[in-house]
Amino acid sequence: MNVLVVGGAGYIGSHTAKTLKKAGHNPVVLDNLSTGHRWAVRWGPLVEADLADKKAVLQAMRDHRIEAVIHFAANAYVGESMQNPAKYFRNNVANMLNLLEAQHESGIQYMVFSSSCTTYGIPERVPISEDFPQSAISPYGESKLMGEKMLKWFGECYGLGWVALRYFNASGADPEGEIGEVHDPETHLIPLVIDAALGKRPPVKIFGTDYPTPDGTAIRDYIHVMDLADAHVRALQYLLEGGESTAFNLGTGHGHSVLEVINTVERVGGRKVPAEAAPRRAGDPPALVADPTKARRVLGWEARNPSLHQIVETAWRFAENRK
């Protein structure tokens, strides 16, 4: 199929484009390059356009005979969303509406949507399954939840087939070293820890050392980016085979603490990680871990790179090669 990968010059989008190509599809990347990278588009053409420009989106769909859409293009910093909610609702909601309208007008029946575990807010317990209440506590999480609601109603009213993938902590890099994680600013823990070990950043701040966890630091479910990419391709195939529109949580089902991440980076890289304790950040739950049972049962998907050591190894290799 000809698949429009919206935001395909970004971290997860570029890995998904590579996986789509390996699966025999033709990825067409649409990206405004505000946070994505031209060098990360290697497996199909790049259409440099913004979702705010609906005419450009329609033109890309027609020119490339697009048959399905995978949507990654979103602002994704929780802290920034608290300071500038308008930016998040404009891009993540209003611009997504442009995309959905263009898709409907073009007669494209399928969308796989990059959603987030932030739609659950602070869960009462872990692991988190898809039937947990969704109660976002940031404009970013709320914007993703609104995206899911738009999908539901476009499905009800227009027959759009959709899958929302609520993933946890994307991490790692392409094992072949072609692409990896590069954000500006970088907020994800693993690249921050690796860069601190390599002397590229100041000491890592450990936000909270008094959580009710075994070592006092927050626990998160880290999932390899290639496993996420695989899930997007499987979700697309699921829709093509007539699967009902639904949402899936994507994670390993196992959590790792901040100190575990630091210790793993030290073992993989053979270097000490400079770190310092800092107060908890408001709204950070002690633990976020996925229950991936539904994705395993329905999509036949599970994390193939579940170990933190494997994840860090690929991220370390990519970071070293970008010296």
Q: Which residues are catalytic?
A: 140
Phi then psi for residue 31, to 5 deg, are -155, 140
CA atoms within 13 A on the CB side of 65: 4
d(CA 240, CA 87): 34
Identify the DSSP state of 256: E
Q: Mutual orientation of helices 189-197 and 258-269 as an angle, nearest 10°?
A: 40
* Gap between the Cα atoms of 9 and 31, Å rounded: 6
- The set of residues, in sequence order, having a beta carbon less than 8 Å from that of 195 and lying 6+ positions away, is 186, 201, 319
Angle (CA) 235-179-193 rounded to 5° is 100
